Chains A and B, each alone.
Chain A
Amino acid sequence: MVPGLAYFLLFQYGALFGSAIAFKEYVPFDGVWGSPWIGFENFQRMFGNAEFWDAVVNTLVISVLQLVFYFPVPLALALLLHSLTWSTVRRFVQSVAYLPHFISWVIVVALFQQMLGDTGLMNSFLGDAGLSTVDVIGNPDAFKPLVVAQVIWKDAGWGTIIFLAALTQVDEQLLEASAIDGAGPWRRFWHVTLPAIRPVVILLLIMRLGEILSVGFEQMLLQRDAVGPEAAEIIDTFVYYQGVVGGDYGFATAAGLFKGLMGALLVYAANKVAHRLGESGVYK
């Protein structure tokens, strides 16, 4: 157990205590520990920084868009898959749909460029059909829908797993009884299936709300150059550009620490709400 524990102490807690740099002015020569303390100056600069707030707004907007447009997709797909009675077809579609989850963001972004870029598949078809082409890649206005589409492509299939597990728990006898009593497919869905899976749906929704400050960092960083920071800067990329690129380590750490604290509080609160609703939550 020693190597594993050493990892946590060094790389997790070592770095966690290294967050002290948020309260310091980083001097490369003095290192993290030798740099002078400056109190909350970095945080004051952060709260007065317009770009930081733009990044916060972008993060929240993308999160909300994902909540509205991504969240229902795995549920719908799971219902569709669950309704299939032909198990060969179901298993085949499941296999295909889970696959993109295992593809790296670098490849997903490259694939989307190939499909939707100005010389890509979609625009060639539009061009051949005599329609005007659509500028999707590298267009700041189209960026947020594009990001949501990428998340749907990559993770909607994988997201069905938990809903499919919940659907197998639906009481078969209850379905049969209501069918005998004359309830059609829609009424059975509405009065039996939906109430049975509602706890899982609510739990996932709450957990997602707890992570509202986190949107795909690699996904955004890979595409930020193409559309510019106005459209693509999120809190995590802000931290990256201020710190790693700009060298303003203390300031960037302050922004990261702010996000980390807010995120932990939100997850904690979401968990509390889940408990209040009688769910088990993530942490006991």
Chain B
Amino acid sequence: MSTQVRPSWMEKPKPLTQAAKAVALIVVVLIVCVPFLVIVSTSLASQREVVENGGWVLWPTEPTLQAYRDIFEGGIVTHALGVSVGVTVIGTLLSLACTVTLAYALCRPGVFGGKPFLILILFTFLFPPGMIPSFLLVKELGLLDSYASLILPVLVNVFNLVVLRGFFQGIPEELYEAARLDGASDLRVLWTIVLPLSKAALAVIGLFYAVTYWNSWFYASLFLESDHWPLQQVLRTYVISGAGLTDTTTGEGTVNAPQTIQMAILVIAVVPILLVYPFLQKYFTKGVLTGAIKS
């Protein structure tokens, strides 16, 4: 909705102020958008054009999907994409299930040891275990080079847990009691009353988990061998460190200009974030998040 509301007492800003604001806003938008434009354009340009222009293109004159075709022919990037999607989907579902049940148990009065458990959990937020003990733990559990090592060590996020618990606590007590009187079990109350009322909070937390899993890079670099890599680790190796990509991306055969392929991999890693972003946005305007951050 295009609404322009200025309170009646507020004076109209001077033209100079308005111009300065406009310039500032345009600069902000450009600083964020231009890098994305450049990677998309470069990934769509032909190798010749990229080379002529010195490594990047702002607007391709003869757009081609060749780079994407090369990537999806198979090989490392296709495989990595599959790994990233799989870890993100399974990880998000597992994380949500564990966070929801734990948050629910922690907000119901009378759960055995509820308060000490909460303190135990909050303590890990203040004093998280170090990198090396976590690494050795994963190693001793025999999880090295397994996809579980990307999910299990980060299964429940304390912040998300606390937010969800706060949300559950906001549900009127009468609803719980009514269900109790009707003889519903705890799980049934959770499934039929609490979860339907918490859709917005679940969506936000689910999306946060999904974004975290999708973006996760360090654990993959720490735990996985190269034939199990997700997309972010492939990006790190071939785009940031500039390892030779020519023979490995597509397995075999001819390869387009590495630069266009590098940019295409970047685009593929960004696109899912852009796709879920409008949904994320819809919910933070609902104030779920602002409330969460304040708490």
A positions within 8 Å CB-CB of B: 1-5, 7-8, 10-19, 21, 31-32, 77, 80, 83-89, 92-93, 95-100, 102-107, 109-111, 113-115, 119-121, 124, 153, 157, 161-162, 165, 172, 175-176, 179-180, 184-185, 217-218, 221-222, 225, 236, 239-240, 243-244, 249, 252-253, 256-257, 259-261, 264, 267-268, 283
Contact = CB atoms under 8 A, between A and B. Distances in A.
A12 B136 CA distance: 13
A88 B1 contact: yes
Contact of B120 (A8, A84, A184, A217): A8
Contact of A87 (B5, B9, B281): B5
B29 A103 contact: no
Nearest to B129: A15
B134 A221 contact: no
Nearest to B217: A106
Interface size grouping (class) on chain B:
35 or more
A217 B222 CA distance: 13
Interface stretch (B68-76, B196-204, B233-241): B233-241
Contacts of B5: 85, 87
Contacts of B13: 185
Given A12-B124, A18-B129, A104-B215, A225 B270 contact: no
B235 A110 contact: yes
Given A161-B290, A253-B132, A77 B266 contact: no
Contacts, number: 242
Given A86-B4, A185-B11, A102 B211 contact: yes
A80 B294 contact: no
A113 B25 contact: no
Interface string B237-274: 00111000000000000000000000100100110011
Interface stretch (B85-93, B100-108, B172-180): B100-108
B122 A16 contact: no
Contacts of B124: 8, 12-13, 16
8 contacts: A4-B99, A18-B129, A19-B130, A99-B274, A100-B32, A102-B211, A114-B35, A256-B132
Contacts of B32: 96-97, 99-100, 153, 157
A95 to B, nearest CB: 6
B289 interface: yes
Contact of A18 (B99, B133, B240): B133
B128 A153 contact: no
Contacts of A12: 124, 128-129
A174 B263 CA distance: 52
B281 A80 contact: no
Nearest to B289: A161
A180 to B, nearest CB: 6
B56 A96 contact: no
Nearest to A15: B129
Main secondary structure of the interface of B (DSSP, over half): helix
Contacts of B217: 104-106, 218
A14 B56 CA distance: 48
Contact of B9 (A111, A161, A180): A180
B48 interface: no
Contacts of B156: 4, 7-8
Given A8-B121, A11-B137, A185-B11, A107 B266 contact: yes
B270 A107 contact: yes
Contact of A268 (B1, B126, B135, B273): B126
A69 B29 CA distance: 20
A121 B277 CA distance: 27
Contacts of A253: 130, 132-133
B153 to A, nearest CB: 5
A150 B51 CA distance: 27
Given A15-B129, A102-B273, A283-B126, A1 B105 contact: yes
Given A21-B136, A161-B289, 19 more contacts: A3-B102, A7-B152, A7-B156, A32-B137, A86-B4, A88-B3, A92-B29, A99-B32, A111-B35, A111-B36, A111-B39, A121-B34, A121-B38, A124-B55, A157-B32, A218-B217, A243-B135, A260-B128, A264-B126
A106 B126 CA distance: 27
B265 to A, nearest CB: 9
Nearest to A115: B35
Contacts of A175: 7, 9
B207 to A, nearest CB: 9
B98 interface: yes
B127 A264 contact: yes
A253 B131 CA distance: 8
B134 A222 contact: no
B127 A16 contact: yes
